[in-house]
Chains A and B, each alone.
Chain A
């Protein structure tokens, strides 16, 4: 696996509009990152196969296979952080993109500075997920933050880096209620104005992996009106 430091960080940008793609590439390169471009979903998957990136930026509106599908395909074999670019924040696209496996999203037109900040937060998350406390156990759930491993009933569960961070955040203070705002700040670096749906969809995805019955969660539970907590 590539070391995702500041220098040598590789970003795959998937965008069909050539001028936007070029401008974004220029802006990201100014941050010191290497940018690989892809104009279609097919090109993107091929490029990712040949050389996995540290962060993938995907525009949902693509000719051929769309951004959701690209996202799902990459997710099948990788926990690489993915940022989706959607047309609007208040459409179903956002939830669909997150459910397809995206870690974060931006709406067009976004400022490149905003994109860099998102990418930096994702890279930081990817790094910090490897430094943490010892072994944690909750019933059939076993978390080893140092190794980045989660087991349910002795079996390895494959989580994305963001899902893992959500679980570890909750697990480090078991029983404590985390508001969506707090989780947004701790994990995404958004603070108060982040989109609560980021948390909701990630928790939902997390549950499908760590809960025996995701519809009736035993570990990651909702505290109505307040947020989420990990039940001891």
Chain B
């Protein structure tokens, strides 16, 4: 339930953007924002500048055009050399005058003649309206101005190239686009930085959550100064506290129960033994019942002992009592005192005198539990071997049973996993904590344990305990 509703909180976004990470999304948002803003500013700047420059250019051109028109008005007559008149006019570079007189268009330069003028402009001027217009001629931007000179029945036109202005505007446009791009990139960088800052507390949360998951239950987030982060920090820490309380409560419960069981168990064990001393005097039925009690009181005691042991792991109070241990001797002694004392032991010659730092009691329990397990589920242990491997020592117990199915190999070290494996490694015997304790003891030593097929190909399981050893002679 809880998991569902929390997921839903994050499920509202459309799936495309959700595929991007939060950081990428924030960065993208900043970049798009910067792009839109800079594009708008650039476009406005460009348009205003363009308008301004054109107006200036037109204004200055108009002054000259009026001057020239006046000159034409004064000097034109049917006898005038019209070409000479046009040549005498002072025009800025790129300006081409055209004279309309006597129903004829006379250009100064042939390529800027009647056809070079837009017809609307011509018509308007001939009709007596002074006009000007911008247009494109042969790919270049031009300003055409026409002034009717009614007193002499003429008109004066000028085609002024705006190409220079155009290239200025082009250069401006390029630099504005460049500026926009830089702004966009800066926006993206800002977004990246801001998202990192904003997400930094989240990475703290993630580290803390990992630590909690790894079993360091006292992990807490540092109280945040930031009012926006404080609720997250507080609720995370509350959650961690609740989790710790709950887990410790569970661990304490198992421990308390086992402690409470000890006293009655003690009485039962002693009483059963007293009865067992008089076993021969009992009637058959009572004797049969007594035998059941004798058999099960041991199992019961073992279970309570194992529960206590495992509850110490859960409570995090299990500590190694390290001492220098002669490993080969330890294994041999553990085997000879186990339920299966005749198992052959194969010893790596390199380990004959090896001394390791280990918790003797725990290693003995590991070996005893593995042999026990082989006896109960593996038709008895067929061999114990001890060998040196890279960085550690391997203790392996092989049995002659049916082996362990691939899918059971991971769960076989779980507590009471006998239930899950029922029918496959079925037996009414055993308590199901033996292998779980093996794993706990080995982990406490920094080692690992696993089960595999027998190394010689015969049917059967091979339980391997690998303990790390620091190299020293």
B-binding residues in A (CB < 8 A) = 17, 19-20, 22-24, 26-27, 30, 87-90, 108-113, 191-193, 196, 225
Contacts and interface: CB of A to CB of B under 8 A. Distances in A.
Contact of A90 (B273, B321, B324): B321
B267 interface: yes
Contacts of B268: 23
Contacts of B274: 23, 26-27, 30, 112
Contact of A108 (B263, B333, B355): B263
Contacts of B270: 20, 23-24, 26-27, 112
A166 to B, nearest CB: 19
| Most chain B beta carbons < 10 A, residue from A19, A26, A109, A192 | A109
Nearest to A23: B270
Interface string B316-344: 00010101100001100100010000000
15 contacts: A17-B266, A17-B267, A19-B263, A19-B267, A22-B267, A23-B274, A24-B270, A26-B274, A87-B262, A88-B308, A90-B319, A90-B321, A110-B269, A192-B333, A225-B355
B70 interface: no
B117 interface: no
B271 interface: yes
Contact of B266 (A20, A26, A90, A113): A20
Interface string B351-388: 00001000011001000000000000000000000000
B314 to A, nearest CB: 15
Contact of A196 (B265, B301, B308, B323): B323
A110 B266 contact: yes
A20 B263 contact: yes
In this complex, which of B262, B266, B267, B323 has the most chain A Cβ atoms within 10 angstroms of its Cβ?
B266
Nearest to A225: B324
The 4 closest A-B pairs by CB, nearest first: A23-B270, A109-B266, A192-B333, A19-B267
Interface centre among A17, A87, A192, by most chain B C-beta atoms within 10 angstroms, is A192
A193 B338 CA distance: 12
A65 to B, nearest CB: 21
B427 interface: no
A198 to B, nearest CB: 13
A192 B337 contact: yes
Given A30-B277, A87-B262, A192-B329, 14 more contacts: A20-B266, A22-B267, A23-B270, A23-B274, A30-B274, A109-B263, A109-B265, A112-B269, A112-B273, A191-B333, A192-B333, A193-B337, A193-B364, A196-B323
B155 interface: no
B271 A87 contact: no
B299 interface: no
A111 B305 CA distance: 13
Contact of A111 (B262, B269, B324): B269
B200 interface: no
Nearest to B265: A109
B364 A109 contact: no
B263 A17 contact: yes
B259 interface: yes
B304 interface: yes
B337 A20 contact: no
A20 B274 CA distance: 13
B79 to A, nearest CB: 133
A22 B263 CA distance: 12
A11 B360 CA distance: 33
B327 to A, nearest CB: 13
A111 B268 CA distance: 10
A20 B267 contact: yes
B266 A23 contact: yes
Given A26-B270, A193-B364, A225-B324, A108 B277 contact: no
B310 to A, nearest CB: 13
A109 B361 CA distance: 18
Nearest to A179: B326
Given A90-B319, A193-B364, A109 B259 contact: no
Nearest to A195: B361
A109 B264 CA distance: 9
Contacts of A24: 266, 270
Contact of A193 (B277, B301, B333): B333
Interface in B285-329: 301, 304, 308, 312, 319, 321, 323-324, 329
A215 B254 CA distance: 42
Contact of B267 (A23, A111, A191): A23
Contacts of A19: 263-264, 267
Given A87-B259, A225-B324, A109 B304 contact: yes
A83 to B, nearest CB: 14
Nearest to A26: B274
Contacts of A23: 266-271, 274
Contacts of B319: 90
Given A30-B277, A87-B259, A108 B266 contact: yes
Interface in B241-273: 259, 262-271, 273
Of B270, B304, B324, B360, chain A has the most CB atoms within 10 Å of the CB of B270
A23 B270 CA distance: 5
A113 B274 CA distance: 10
A133 to B, nearest CB: 30
